[in-house]
Every structure is written in structure tokens, then in C-alpha cells.
Structure 1
Amino acid sequence: MQMEALECGAASLAMILAYHGKWLPLEQVRSDCGVSRDGSKASSIAKAGRSYGLEVKAHRYGVDEVKENVTYPAIIHWNFNHFVVLCGFTKNAAVINDPARGTINVTMEEFDHSFTGVCIEFTPGENFEKGGKPESVFKFLKDRLANTTASVIFVMITAALVAFVGLVTPVFARIFTDQILPGHNMHWLEMLLVAMLFTAIFRMIVGFLNEIYLYRIKGKLAIVSNASFMWHMLHLPMDFYAQRMVGDLAGRQKLNDQIAETLIAKYVLVETKAPEGYVRSEKEESVIFAYEDGNTKEIEITKELTNERIPTGGYSNSPKTEDDTNIWLPFFLLLLSVGGIAGIIWYTKRKNHD
């Protein structure tokens, strides 16, 4: 997928290379395609493809000629301002891999309207070499969530307990319907109500703790990504900025929060501590990356935090406190609830006996 509006040609070529077994970073393909603030030309894409060992053929085709003659996948020019990958045709639609939207099916009417006639075919040549491998989202999570194993385990346990409570609730309804409502075991009613009460309390507490630690994990992921991004941006050469629009760079910053939102949970990051390995203030104060006020505020925050550069290699706030999560807390709450129910039942029986 393209990261910027002008990378469609480079992203399309990267897709072609990946299809033939050669995985390259988009930044490298972008550089080889000569992408500038004006985008890239079809001739530059073809030249870059030949440099990778592909045999390239450029044509100007009509719709019928594309369906009959083109070897898929191929890059086509779209709406006079975009490059996409044509993967083939179905009975009534064209299959397009759009670097901006992903794989889509477009009607033949839309294809006829949007296709400009420029088509570039790619086939592996004698000098083509396969290599590389796709980026793994699990590696991304592993790097960003270092030293949070206990928190992740805690969230998994609390989620399992919440699911278990959801399975127990219908059992209460069945006991009430089959045993108490017909009048067979009326003495069960008090115990059932007590059990339902403590189950509801337990569900509320565990659900609350689950959300709290989801906040922590998502906050850590967002802050580490933002800090890493800002530190990387400040060390890039001027050529990088000369080829890009300011809006595209600002959009990348917001993607860090969106990635954390997607991977962890649908919550809003409010505040968390700056991660070790990137930036830290002298007073270890809390950090908030606010995008709404523009680049000026972001730069001021960065200057305040970069009083001390800490060697990369860890994401925790302190090497002595990797994670203070108590993964036994849900089990303690469960035992507490069971003990409370047992105590009330014992007290009720004793009162009835007296």
C-alpha cells in the first residue's frame, strides 16, 4: 500500500515484484522510480523494472485489447493521475489492486471510463532474482510491546474470565426456570440470587480491569511508535523532505495512533509515560503527543523531551520495573467472590437453624 499520494507508481511496481517473488521496501522502489513531488512517470517505472531484471513492455491498448493481450499482473494508468495494478477480469468486472485502497472489483463501465490506455507488462528476465520476505506484523508488535508480557497475559486472562461469566449467566436462567419457577426447590432462590449478584459484581470488576490494561498496552504502543517516528524524522536527510509534501508527513504521524487503535482496542489515548530507548525528560514527566495544534507544538514537545538521549534497545520506563502487572489479581477476585457467596450461604443456613 502506498504511504503517500505520489507513491502509486512505486507501490504498484513493488506489488509486481512481490508477485514474482522479490520483496523490496517501498522506500527503495520509490527511490529507483525517481518519485518527486510531481509523482512518477510511466517511463521511470519501466526503467526501474528493467533494473530489477524484469522484461518490460509498454503498450497503448483499448479495453478489448487489454483483455485479450495483456499478461497479468500489469500496471495501468488510471484516471490520468494514478497507477494501479490490473490483476485480471471476471465475467462482468475488472480486478484492480489499488495501492490506495487495496484489491477491488470495478465494473466494465467504470474500467472503460477510468483506463487511459497506458499499460505496462512485466515478466521475469534472465537477470531477475527472487529475494526478501514480507514484513511481519507480529515482529512489529514484538518490538513495540517489549516488556509488556505480563500485561498482555493479564488482558487475556481477564477477557477469558469475562467470557466465562457470559457462559455462566444462561445456567442461572435455566436453574430458575427448571427448578425454582415450578416450585420444586424454592429454597434455592436465595442462593441463586446471591450467586447472580456476586457474578455481576465480579464481571464488572474484571471488565473494568481489562479495559484499564488495554489502555496501558495501547498507550505504550502509540507512544513508542510516535517517539520512534519523530526521532527517525529528525535524522533524515533533506532530500527526503524535498520529495514529499508536508501534509503527507503529518498524515504519517496520525497513522501511529490509528495503528495502535486497530491492533489493541478502540479507545482514545490520553496520557502515558515516555518510553525508554527514545526520549525522556529530566523530570520523567508524562507526555502527550497532540496533533490537533499542528507541527509547532509537536516540535516544542520534542525539544522538551530530548534533554537526554537514551540508547535504544528497550521500551520500558525503567530497567528496574519492566512490568508491575499482577496477573494473579483475577484469580484473587474469583476466590474472593466464591468466598463471599460461601459466607452468605453459611450465614443464611445458621440463621435458619437458630
Structure 2
Amino acid sequence: MKKRKKRITVPVIMQMEALECGAASLAMILAYHGKWLPLEQVRSDCGVSRDGSKASSIAKAGRSYGLEVKAHRYGVDEVKENVTYPAIIHWNFNHFVVLCGFTKNAAVINDPARGTIKVTMEEFDHSFTGVCIEFTPGENFEKGGKPESVFKFLKDRLANTTASVIFVMITAALVAFVGLVTPVFARIFTDQILPGHNMHWLEMLLVAMLFTAIFRMIVGFLNEIYLYRIKGKLAIVSNASFMWHMLHLPMDFYAQRMVGDLAGRQKLNDQIAETLIAKYVLVETKAPEGYVRSEKEESVIFAYEDGNTKEIEITKELTNERIPTGGYSNSPKTEDDTNIWLPFFLLLLSVGGIAGIIWYTKRKNHD
């Protein structure tokens, strides 16, 4: 019996749609072996349609990338003894996942829908259908590409909102600073004034507490205003950019996807803005890039309906021509006009106010 690793670490690539599990699993296998490809390209090579993808299509796509592919039907014990990780296994008769190995009492899998998870051996035995596809690099396999950088991703998406983000971060830091000062006031009152040691500090302390409360109220108010301002701007720009890009995609893009998936992507723009704005990280959601307009005219109708918006029908000229590199960049943009010096002014004002209170108190005591 060959000695094997208990588990390995495989890069996680999440599926964008429910039917992309096979393509996402193959993309993870390729990434583990050093070949990083866009999920959209792997999806196309796997022939994903509205019915999903077949194991034979995944194996064929793997061979086209230079991988040696072996498909087996194993039991649970045979998987633990014979499989070379990572491997793609069929799950619950309707899903593909990447098997990363086993621990003492569990199996470790990369689920394109949930990420890296551990499942008990009982659940593994119940969900594993027996189909296992192994991949090993062949002579024609070539490493290439690189994982997307989070910093580059954020830089691109924050290009027109940098000043607003800085403003929000500064005001949030000022609010946090005021929160640290408040317990100091309570300690001074308890240790110095309440026992009667320094009763002459009472007037100065009350004035300082009042000034601090006003300062926190103003800064907190500005922070909330700009949070909602950035969130609204992000939602508007990302939705406009998303629809602009969607209207320039070829007909085969829509032929492979369900209406619900496309509508769900559109709604994600608002959800992302709502979720990420609290963490001061803003991101713009777009459809797959790389398409331009051509002379061929096609038509498509989008139907978007929710509880607050009437049904909207849009007909737009589409394209079937794809450019080799780059993306479609003529999408709506919004410039950022945030005044980031305002919180600095408030900070100087607060420092000056506290200094003035101290000077006034000392002068009064001297007189």
C-alpha cells in the first residue's frame, strides 16, 4: 500500500452559477497544478449549458489542457487507498466537488458552492456516487497565468471612490478615538471629583464632556451621510455598468444561462454595496468581460421585476464578436468629489477647543 498524504491544500474557486460546479472544480485542479484560467474560459471548454456539464466533458476539457485523465468507479475504501489528490468526484448525483484528502474521521472537499469544508465519513459515504476523475500533469501541460490579486481588484473598483473611502475611514477613526476618551472622563470624575479631592476640575470636566459629545455627534453624522452616499453611488454605478455590459454580450451567453441567474446577478450589486460598505471596502460587480459590438444585430428582452419596480423591457443590439484581450470599458463612471480635509478640520477644531478650555480654566484659577 502506497503511503499517501492525509490531505492537500487546493485553491478555492467559487462557482458563479449552480450549473458551473464541474467547470469550477476543473479550474481548481488546474490552479493546484499551476495553471490559472478564468472560470468563464473553463466553462466554455467544458461545454456548460443549461443542463450543466457531463463528466465526459470535464475529462475532455482536462485533456485539452495537457492533463492526463483517468476516470474510475470507486467505493469509499478504494478512494482512500487509490486516488491521487486532488480529484473531482460526483456528489449527490447532481454536483461535482474536489476531493482534497481525508483526516482521521472526515473527508476534506472543496465545494464550488460552499468553499473548503469537512464532511463526516458517514455523509461522504451517503453523498459520494462512486464516480471519480483523477488528473495528473502530462507532457503537454503548461503552467501559466496567476491568481487575481485582491489589492489590484480593490484598486480598480475604488478608482473613483478613493477620497470618499478615506473620508469614511478617518471619521470612523475619530469616532473610535472619542469612544476611548469617554472612559477617561468617567475615571477622572470617580477618582478625583467625587471624593472631593479636585472639585475645581468639575467645571472644566463638564465643558470637555459637552464639547466631546457635540464633536462625536457631528463626526458620526458626517460618517453616516458619506456611508450612505458611497453606498448609493456604488449601487447606481455598478448597476449601470452591469446593464451596459450585459447589453453588449453575445446571444450564446444568454442561451447558456437561466433568467433567474441573470436577475440574481443584477440584485447582487445592491447586496454587495450594502454588505461591504460597513467594512469600507467597495466592489463593483460586472458580467464577464471581453465582448464588443459588431455589425450583426440580435435582440434580447430583459424582464426585471420585484416588489417595488415595475416590469422593464429593454431591447438592445448585441454582438457575437469577441475580442482576444481586454474588456469593454465604455461603461458609466462617476467622479468622486469628497472633501477629505473636513475631518482634519474637525480634529483641529476639537484640539483647539480642548486647549482653549484648559487655558481658560488655568487663567480663571490664577485670577
For residue 274 of structure 1, report the CA deviation from its aligned partner. 18
Closer, same or farther: CA 57–271 of 1 in aligned 2, 3 Å:
closer
Identical columns (%): 100
Closer, same or farther: CA 294–193 of 1 in aligned 2, 3 Å:
closer
| Higher alpha-carbon deviation: 21-30 or 318-327 | 318-327
For residue 12 of structure 1, report the CA deviation from its aligned partner. 0.5
Residue in 2 aligned with 1:13? 26
On the 8 A contact 1:147/1:315 being kept in 2, the answer is: no
On the 8 A contact 1:276/1:318 being kept in 2, the answer is: no
**Separation in 2, partners of 1:287, 1:351:** 78
**Separation in 2, partners of 1:283, 1:239:** 13
**Separation in 1, partners of 2:332, 2:29:** 45
Query: Structure 1: which 5+ runs fail to align?
Result: none
* 2:312 counterpart SS class: helix
On the 8 A contact 2:89/2:132 being kept in 1, the answer is: yes
Cα deviation 1:104-146 (Å, max 9, x = unaligned): 1111110000000000001111111111112233333322322
Query: Structure 2: which 5+ runs fail to align?
Result: 1-13
On the 8 A contact 2:248/2:317 being kept in 1, the answer is: no
Closer, same or farther: CA 183–294 of 1 in aligned 2, 3 Å:
closer
On the 8 A contact 1:282/1:307 being kept in 2, the answer is: no
Cα deviation 1:136-191 (Å, max 9, x = unaligned): 33333322322322222211211221121122112112211221122110010111
For residue 238 of structure 1, report the CA deviation from its aligned partner. 1.1
Closer, same or farther: CA 330–307 of 1 in aligned 2, 3 Å:
farther
Closer, same or farther: CA 274–329 of 1 in aligned 2, 3 Å:
farther
On the 8 A contact 1:273/1:285 being kept in 2, the answer is: no
| Higher alpha-carbon deviation: 42-51 or 238-247 | 238-247
TM-score, normalised via structure 1 length: 0.83
For residue 224 of structure 1, report the CA deviation from its aligned partner. 2.5
Closer, same or farther: CA 140–87 of 1 in aligned 2, 3 Å:
same
* 1:305 counterpart SS class: coil
On the 8 A contact 1:145/1:220 being kept in 2, the answer is: no
**Separation in 1, partners of 2:106, 2:78:** 15
Closer, same or farther: CA 257–280 of 1 in aligned 2, 3 Å:
farther
On the 8 A contact 2:164/2:230 being kept in 1, the answer is: yes
On the 8 A contact 2:251/2:319 being kept in 1, the answer is: no
Closer, same or farther: CA 306–94 of 1 in aligned 2, 3 Å:
closer
* 1:38 counterpart SS class: coil
On the 8 A contact 1:8/1:82 being kept in 2, the answer is: yes
**Separation in 2, partners of 1:275, 1:38:** 20
How many equivalent residue pairs?
354
| Higher alpha-carbon deviation: 248-257 or 103-112 | 248-257
**Separation in 1, partners of 2:69, 2:308:** 42
On the 8 A contact 2:109/2:116 being kept in 1, the answer is: yes
Closer, same or farther: CA 276–7 of 1 in aligned 2, 3 Å:
closer
| Structure with greater helix percent | 1
**Separation in 1, partners of 2:52, 2:298:** 42
On the 8 A contact 1:14/1:26 being kept in 2, the answer is: yes
1:43 pairs with one of 49, 52, 56: 56
On the 8 A contact 1:276/1:312 being kept in 2, the answer is: no
**Separation in 2, partners of 1:283, 1:37:** 24
Closer, same or farther: CA 308–214 of 1 in aligned 2, 3 Å:
farther
Whether 1:166 aligns to 2:179 is yes
Cα deviation 1:292-320 (Å, max 9, x = unaligned): 53898574589999999999999999999
Cα RMSD (Å) of the superposition? 6.4
On the 8 A contact 1:77/1:119 being kept in 2, the answer is: yes
